[in-house]
Amino acid sequence: MALSGRFRSALIIGGQGIRARKLRTFLSMISLFLGVLAVVAVQAGAEIADRAMLSDIELSAGKDGTLVLNFPSNNDAGTVMADTLAGRSDAVGVDNAMGIIGEPGVAPVNPGASPLKYAGRGGYGGPSMVCDQTGCHEIKQDDNPPPPGQAIEVRLIGLTGDIRQFRPFQLEAGRWLDFGGEPSMSPGLVLNREAAAALNQYRLPAELRITGSTANPTPRILGVVHDGSDGPAVYLRADELSLWKTAGDAQGYLSVYLNPSAADIEQTLKARLVARGADPGNLQTYPVEARKQIESELRLLRLIFLAMAALVLLIGIAGILNVGLATVGERIEEFALRRAVGTPRMLLAGIVLAETLIIGLLTAAAAVGVGIVGLKLAASMFGGRFQMLQGVEFPWQAGLAGVIAGLAAGVLGGLLPAIRAARIPIATVMRA
């Protein structure tokens, strides 16, 4: 009750003080506003960047907690993987191959499935490489390379099931792969953005050449997804890919994405692969830790910006402190009088702190409000140009950071004036 009475008294008297000095309160708020806004902006920016990066990294690496098993694709590993994972929804196998879509008998514009921004520059630059269990090797170039033409090279990614539970691809057009029913001789393809853009740009005839295959299938384009990759890639059913992929093309690595609860599949698959001669040392499972990776990448950047925001906030606090000390100087008689009528020193300090805390909270509310409106405006004005801003929501963490900054500024800016107010001697003032 006593604490409640003091708390209420502090709020009532603090409110009276603020109402009596509206202009001064407003000026204090202005001095603090930029500091709190800087904290809100840095926190909001970091959270939005975090989410955008997490979303990108989830597309390419997988959601946090997903287990990934990589292994060399020799010794019928692809067949073992397909047989083991058949009918399981909690694990998806990924097979890889290279393919060329477009005019037959010509060199692709992007050798090595490099991003199209390198088109016509010989791919990523340097010799084309291939990696397998023995290491990475340069691909021997043809003495008589085909002439350049209307074709693009893509990564063909064969899936044994719906991988979107692990890598949340965003469907942008058409439909996703249907894993029910028998595989088709005309493979259904889902293109990523880069592949779709290439097809659109070069108006390619829909013929697919799979590296190592002796015949070229005519694919069906099913849809387009955003997969976070900047090189052209095409997703298809692993069983449809295997119809055209020759056994001699078994190179590189296969991957299996596993739900953490699917330990039995992991053990079975490893056992079967070892039985087929795979080296157990090459069967490594690792968990996806996307958030941890992002946080370590953003930590330093966030700290630098927060330090800058803290500096601006400190200037605001100095402003509150200055105004607070001047105000206490002007209110000596009031505080002495309040002590004379029985107000304890602690409550006097509480009154001054309550005023600066209210100022801090009002400023935080204003800064968070401006942050929310600013973000909405930015999203509506620049959302088309920056994907990060599309449908972006104001992060609650930024609001919380603003409130904490406002409260901290209120405490730091009000502490010294509060101590000074509590020390005012009654006798000296009332005798004067």
Partner 1 sequence: MTPLIELTGLTKTLKGQGEPRTILSGVDLTVRDGDSVAILGRSGSGKSTLLSLIGLFDRPDGGRYLLGGQDITKLSERRAARLRSDEFGFVFQRFFLLKHLTAAQNVAMALVNGQGWAARRKRRAKVLAALDLVGIAHLAKHKPPRLSGGEQQRVAIARALVREPKILLADEPTGALDTETGALVIEVLHAATARGCGLILVTHDHAHANRMNRVVRLADGRLVQGGQV
Question: Least distance to partner 1 from the beta carbon of 352, Å?
Answer: 14
The residue among 50 and 334 lying less far from partner 1, judged by its C-beta, is 334
b/e 133-172 (16+ beta carbons within 10 angstroms → b)? eeeeeeeeeeeeeeeebebbbbbbbbbbbebbbbbbbeee
Question: Least distance to partner 1 from the beta carbon of 361, Å?
Answer: 21
Say how far apart CA 163 and CA 352 lie, in whole Å.
59
Question: Least distance to partner 1 from the beta carbon of 322, Å?
Answer: 22
Binding site for partner 1 (CB under 8 A): 1-2, 4-6, 8-10, 12-13, 16, 19-20, 333-334, 337-347, 425-427, 430-431
Q: How many CB atoms lie within 10 A of CB 11?
A: 16
In angstroms and rounded to an integer, the radius of gyration of the C-alpha atoms of the chain is: 33
Whether residue 91 contacts residue 256, with contact meaning beta carbons closer than 8 Å, is answered with yes
Question: Least distance to partner 1 from the beta carbon of 419, Å?
Answer: 14
The residue among 215 and 341 lying less far from partner 1, judged by its C-beta, is 341
The residue among 219 and 417 lying less far from partner 1, judged by its C-beta, is 417
The residue among 1 and 136 lying less far from partner 1, judged by its C-beta, is 1
322 to each of 10, 334, 337, 403, how far by Cα in Å? 21, 19, 23, 22
Question: Least distance to partner 1 from the beta carbon of 353, Å?
Answer: 14
Question: Least distance to partner 1 from the beta carbon of 343, Å?
Answer: 4
The residue among 280 and 425 lying less far from partner 1, judged by its C-beta, is 425
CA dihedral 42, 44, 48, 50 (to 10 degrees): 60
The residue among 9 and 70 lying less far from partner 1, judged by its C-beta, is 9
Place of tokens 């299996």: 256
Question: Least distance to partner 1 from the beta carbon of 344, Å?
Answer: 4
One-character DSSP codes across 11-68? HHHHHHHHHHTHHHHHHHHHHHHHHHHHHHHHHHHHHHHHHHHHHHHHHHT-STT-EE
Which structure tokens are listed for 106?
A: 């010509």
The residue among 8 and 299 lying less far from partner 1, judged by its C-beta, is 8
Q: How many CB atoms lie within 10 A of CB 203?
A: 8
Question: Least distance to partner 1 from the beta carbon of 407, Å?
Answer: 22
**Residue 278: CA count within 13 A, CB half-sphere:** 27
List CB contacts of 348: < 8 A, sequence separation 6 or more.
335, 338, 339, 418, 421, 422, 424
The residue among 326 and 340 lying less far from partner 1, judged by its C-beta, is 340
Place of tokens 């409130």: 403
Question: Least distance to partner 1 from the beta carbon of 5, Å?
Answer: 3
The residue among 20 and 301 lying less far from partner 1, judged by its C-beta, is 20
